Structure 1
Amino acid sequence: MEIESRSVEFIPENERYGSPKRLFTIWCSANMQVTTMVIGALGVVAGLNLGWTFIGLLLGNLIGSIFMAAHSAQGPHLGIPQMIQSRAQFGVVGAGLPLAIVVLAYILFTAANGVVMRDSIKAVVPVSDNDAIILFGVLTLIVGYVGYELIHRLGVWMSVLSGIVFALAAYVVLSRGLPAGVWQVSGSTFKFATFCLVVTQAASWTLGAGPYVADYSRYLPTSTTTRSTFWYSYLGIVVGSSVVMLLGAIMASAAMDVIADPGSAIARLFPGYEQLAYFIIIVGVLEWNVMNLYSSYMSTTTIFTGFKGTVRIGKLAKFVIMAIVAVIVTWIAIAAQYNFGAYFSDILIGQVYVLVPWSAINLADYYWVRKGRYSVAAMYDVNGIYGRVNWTTLSIYAVAVLIQIPFMELSFYKGPIAHLIGTDISWLPGLVVPGVLYYLVNRNKRLHLTAFDAPGPVTAPLSPLNSA
C-alpha cells in the first residue's frame, strides 16, 4: 500500500474514489473501542442509575452526531480537509486561532488514548508503563503516516472484529446478572445535574469529531450525494459510540472498574482468549488514535501554510510534523498517566467550550449563508476573497467562548449558572449563540458569489438531509 501523497490540498476529481458506505465503517469502528466505554461509565460512577444513564447517553449521541455528520457532508462537495474550509469564515490566516485550539484538543485526546492503552499493552508485551505509552505512540505514527486508505481499511476490519468482541462482552456481563433496581426509571432515581452531565459528555464525544470529520470523506467522488454522506456518517458514529457507551454503563453498574483500565475489564471476560482480546482492543483504540494524529497533522499544516498560501506538503515534511506531534502527545501521556480520571473528564468537557462555537459558525456559513458555494482556490490565497483575517468572525467566536464561562464546570472551576443548575450545560449557548450571531451579521452580505477571479471549483448549494 502506497503512502498517501496528498495532504491539505484539493483532491481533484480523477483521484476521487470510494463509496459513502466506508463512512459507516470508519466512524462505527473508531468509536467502538474502550475509550468510548469510559464515557458510558462516568454517569453511573457519578451516581446516576443505569436506566437514566442509558437515556442520557442516547440523547447526547443522537444530538451531537447531527452536527458531526453535517460537517462530514462537506467533504465530497469541497474535496478539502475540514479545517481548510474554516478559512472562508475566519480568513486564510485568521483560521489559525481555531485551528490551534483544535490541534491542542486532539493532542490531549491522543495522549488520553495512550494512557488508556498502557496496561493493555503491558498485558501483551512485558514493558514498563512509560515504554508501553511510547510503543503505542510509535504504532500510531506509522499508521498515521501511511494515511487515508490504510485508515479506512482498518475501519472495515475493526467494525467486524470490535463488534464481535463487544457483543460477546455484553452477553457475558448480562448473563451474570445486575444488581436489582438499576434499570428503574422513576422520579426518585432521577438526578437532574448528573443526567445533564451525561448528556453533555456523550454529545461532547460526537461533537468532538466535527473539526476533522471531512478529512475522511474528501476523497469521495463529487457525485456522492450529501444525503448519503450525512446518514452513513451519522449512523456510523451513533451505532459505534452508543453501543460501547451503554456497555460501559452496564459494566460500571456491575461494579467493574471500567475507568482505570477499560481494556483489561473487557479482556478478562474472555479467559483463555485474553491475549486475542487485548490485541483487538489495542488495534481498536489505535485506529481512533491514528485519526486524531492524522488530523492534528492536517490542522497543524493548515495553520502554517496559511501564511504563504502553500497548497502541497511533501512526504518528508509530513513525517517530520507528525513525528513532532507524536512526541508531544507521548510526553503529555507519560506526565498525566497517574492522574487520568480528572484529566480525561476535564478535556472531554473542556473541548466543548472551544470546538462547539467553531462548529456552529462553520455550519451556519455552509448551510445558511453561503449555501455551499465556495471558491476552493481562494482558500489557499492570503490575498483572495476570504482575506487574511476576518476580525468579525473572530469576535463572534470570542463572544461565544466568553458567554459559556458562567455555565462551565471543571475540576478546578464552577461558574455561577453551573452552581445554580447543578451541572454544566455550556454546549447549548456555545452552539446557539455563535451560529445565530454569525447568520445575523452576514445574512445580507454577498458572500456566496456565483463566480470568482481565482481559478478552481465553485461549488453548488446543497442541503444535508434532502439533496439527491
Structure 2
Amino acid sequence: MAAVVEKHSIDVVPDSARHGRAFSQFTLWLGANLQITAVVTGALAVVFGGDVVWSLIGLVLGNLLGGAVMALHSAQGPKLGLPQMIQSRAQFGVKGAVVPLLLVILMYVGFFASGSVLAGQATARLTHTGDTTGIIIFALVTGVMATVGYRVIHALGRVASVVCALAFLFLGARLLERTDLGELLGNAHFSMPMFLLAVSLSASWQLAFGPYVADYSRYLPRSTSAKATFWWTLSGSALGSQWSMTFGVFVAASSGGAFLDDQVGYVVSLGGAGLVASFFYFVIALGKLTVNVLNTYGGFMSMVTGISGFRGQRVLSQRGRAVYIAIIMVAGTAVALAGKDSFLSSFKDFLLFLLTFFTPWSAINLVDYYLISRERYDIPALADPNGRYGAWRWDALVVYGVGLLAQLPFLATHFYTGPLVEPLGGADVSWIVGLVVPAALYWLLARRDTSHIPAEHVPGPRTEAAAADTAVTP
C-alpha cells in the first residue's frame, strides 16, 4: 500500500517518479466525463428552451473550444512536473497566485457538492438508505481515494472509461427504442441566445478542468510529447463530455417532466429494474466518483498552493494531505446537503458564473506560458517570494481584475444580468470577452518587461534525494 499512496503534492515530480504514457490522459478524461452531471449539463440546453439540433451543434462547438484551452494546460504537465496552480505563481507572484486560487477552491467545493447530490442519490438507492446517508457515504469513499492519490485516480479513470462507455451504449440504445428520433431532429429552430447558452454550458464544463488538468499529466516523463498530451487530453475530454451531453439532450427532449423530477431515477429506469437497476446505480456512482476524486484532489492542491505561498512550504507530508482533503470533503458535503433539494435550478447559474472567474486566469496563464515565457520557467523560484517572480505581480493581477469586470455587462444569470445582454437578444457571451480581453491586454503589458524570464528553462530536482526529509505538516 505504501508504494501506491502518492508521496508528492505541490513539489516537483522528479524523474525517478515519472511514469506512464500520454494515452493515460485519454482514459482518465473519458472516464471523468461519462457521468450523470455531464448528462444534466447537456439536458439544460433543452430544458431552458433550445431545440435538439442546435443544442447539439452548440455543445459540440463549446466542447471543442473549451476542450482545446483545457488541453493546452494539460500539455504543460510533463515539462514542468508541477500542479497547475503552482505554475500560476510565474504570472501572479508567489503570494499573488492566491487571488485566483481562492476562486478555484470554491469551484472544487461546488463541483464536489453538485456531484455528490446526484451520486448520493444513486448510492442511497444502491444501499437502500436515504439521500443524506448516500451523500455522506459517497463523500467518504471519495476522500479515501483522493488521499491515496495519483495512481488510483488513473486506475479509476481506466475502469470508469470502459464500464461507463458500455453502460452509456446500452442506455442510448434503450432511449432510442422509446424515442421518435426523426421528430426530434426535424423540429429545428435556430435561436442565437439558446445556441450560445449551449456553447457556454459545454465550454464552461471544459474550462473548469483547466485549473487542475496538469495535475494529472505532471507524472508523465519529461520526454513526453506536448502534442500527444494535448491531443489525448482533448479527445478524451471532448468525446466523453459530448457523448454524455448528447444523451442528456435526447433524454430531456423526449421525457417531458419525468427527467426533471428525478434525473438519476429516470436514467436508471431506461436500463431496467431489479439487479439491472442496481448495476446502473453503481455505474452512476462510479462515473461521479472519478470526477469527484479529481475535484477533491485538485481542491487540496489549490488550498496547499495558496497557503504554502505565505508559509514557504515546498512539499507536504502524507498526514498533511489527509487533513487538507478532509477539509475539502467536509465543506463539499455540507454544501451538497444544504442544496440537494434545488440542484437543477441552481446548477446552470453555477456553471456559467464559474466561467466568469476562470476564463481570465486561463487566458493569462496560456499567453504567458506559450507566448511570453515560451515555456521557460525557473521552477525553484516559484517557491521564493523574494526571487525572480516576486511575491505579487501586479500587472497580471490588474489584468485579471479587468478581465472579470469586462465580462459583467455580458453576463446572464438568475441573480445578475448585465446591461448588454438584452441588446444581444439575451445571449451570454461573457466567456468570449473573458478570454479575449485579458489575453490581449496581458500580451501587450507582459512583453514590455521580460527581465524575470530565464534564458533557459530551469527544472526542479530530478532525483528523490533532492527533496528528501523536507516534508512539513500544516
TM-score normalised by length of structure 1: 0.94
Cα pair 1:61 1:203 within 8 Å, conserved: yes
Residue 98 of structure 1: how far off its partner (Å): 0.3
- Matches of 1:75 and 1:336 in 2, distance apart? 35
Q: Please, which of 290, 293, 298 is the counterpart of residue 290 of structure 1? A: 293
* Aligned position for 2:418: 415
Q: Please, which of 432, 449, 454 is the counterpart of residue 449 of structure 1? A: 454
- Matches of 2:216 and 2:259 in 1, distance apart? 30
Residue 457 of structure 1: how far off its partner (Å): 7.0
The residue type paired with residue 112 of structure 1 is S
Residue 451 of structure 1: how far off its partner (Å): 5.2
Residue 423 of structure 1: how far off its partner (Å): 2.0
Q: Please, which of 347, 372, 378 is the counterpart of residue 344 of structure 1? A: 347
* Aligned position for 1:140: 142
Residue 424 of structure 1: how far off its partner (Å): 1.1
Q: Please, which of 118, 121, 128 is the counterpart of residue 119 of structure 1? A: 121
- Bigger shift: residues 259-268 or 57-66: 259-268
* Aligned position for 1:433: 437
Please tell me the root mean square deviation across aligned C-alpha atoms, in Å.
1.6
Q: Which ranges in structure 1 are unaligned for 5 or more consecutive residues?
A: 459-468
- Bigger shift: residues 250-259 or 4-13: 250-259
- Matches of 2:157 and 2:460 in 1, distance apart? 32
- In structure 2, the CA distance between the partners of 1:133 and 1:386, relative to structure 1 (3 Å rule), is same
* Aligned position for 1:167: 169
Cα pair 1:41 1:258 within 8 Å, conserved: no
* Aligned position for 1:87: 89
1:130-175 CA distance string (max 9 Å, x none): 2211111111101111111000001111111000000111111112
- In structure 2, the CA distance between the partners of 1:8 and 1:251, relative to structure 1 (3 Å rule), is same
1:317-361 CA distance string (max 9 Å, x none): 111111111111111111111111232111100111101100000
Residue 269 of structure 1: how far off its partner (Å): 1.6
Cα pair 1:59 1:199 within 8 Å, conserved: yes
Residue 185 of structure 1: how far off its partner (Å): 6.7
Cα pair 2:58 2:198 within 8 Å, conserved: yes
Q: Does 1:158 align with 2:160?
A: yes
Q: Please, which of 334, 339, 349 is the counterpart of residue 337 of structure 2? A: 334
- Matches of 2:339 and 2:180 in 1, distance apart? 33
1:103-128 CA distance string (max 9 Å, x none): 00111111001111232122111222
Q: Please, which of 405, 408, 420 is the counterpart of residue 405 of structure 1? A: 408
Aligned-residue identity in percent: 40
* Aligned position for 2:470: none
- Matches of 1:382 and 1:342 in 2, distance apart? 43
The residue type paired with residue 237 of structure 1 is S
1:251-310 CA distance string (max 9 Å, x none): 111115445533322221222411111112101101100100000000000001011221
- Matches of 1:123 and 1:10 in 2, distance apart? 42
Helix, strand or coil: the match of 2:184? coil
Q: Does 1:8 align with 2:7?
A: no
Cα pair 1:260 1:341 within 8 Å, conserved: no
- Bigger shift: residues 46-55 or 175-184: 175-184
The residue type paired with residue 15 of structure 2 is E
1:334-390 CA distance string (max 9 Å, x none): 111111123211110011110110000000000100010001111011111000011
- In structure 2, the CA distance between the partners of 1:249 and 1:455, relative to structure 1 (3 Å rule), is closer
Residue 48 of structure 1: how far off its partner (Å): 1.5
- In structure 2, the CA distance between the partners of 1:104 and 1:374, relative to structure 1 (3 Å rule), is same
The residue type paired with residue 445 of structure 2 is V
Q: Does 1:268 align with 2:273?
A: no
- Matches of 2:32 and 2:181 in 1, distance apart? 31
- Matches of 2:103 and 2:259 in 1, distance apart? 29
Question: What are the within-5 Å matches in structure 2 for residues 199-278 of structure 1?
Answer: 199-255=199-255, 257-271=258-272, 272=274, 273-278=276-281
Helix, strand or coil: the match of 1:190? coil
- Matches of 1:377 and 1:440 in 2, distance apart? 27
* Aligned position for 2:151: 149
* Aligned position for 2:370: 367
Residue 176 of structure 1: how far off its partner (Å): 2.0
- Bigger shift: residues 275-284 or 212-221: 275-284
Query: How many residues matched?
Result: 455
Helix, strand or coil: the match of 1:414? coil
* Aligned position for 1:59: 61
Helix, strand or coil: the match of 2:284? helix
- Matches of 1:428 and 1:396 in 2, distance apart? 16
Q: Which ranges in structure 2 are unaligned for 5 or more consecutive residues?
A: 463-474
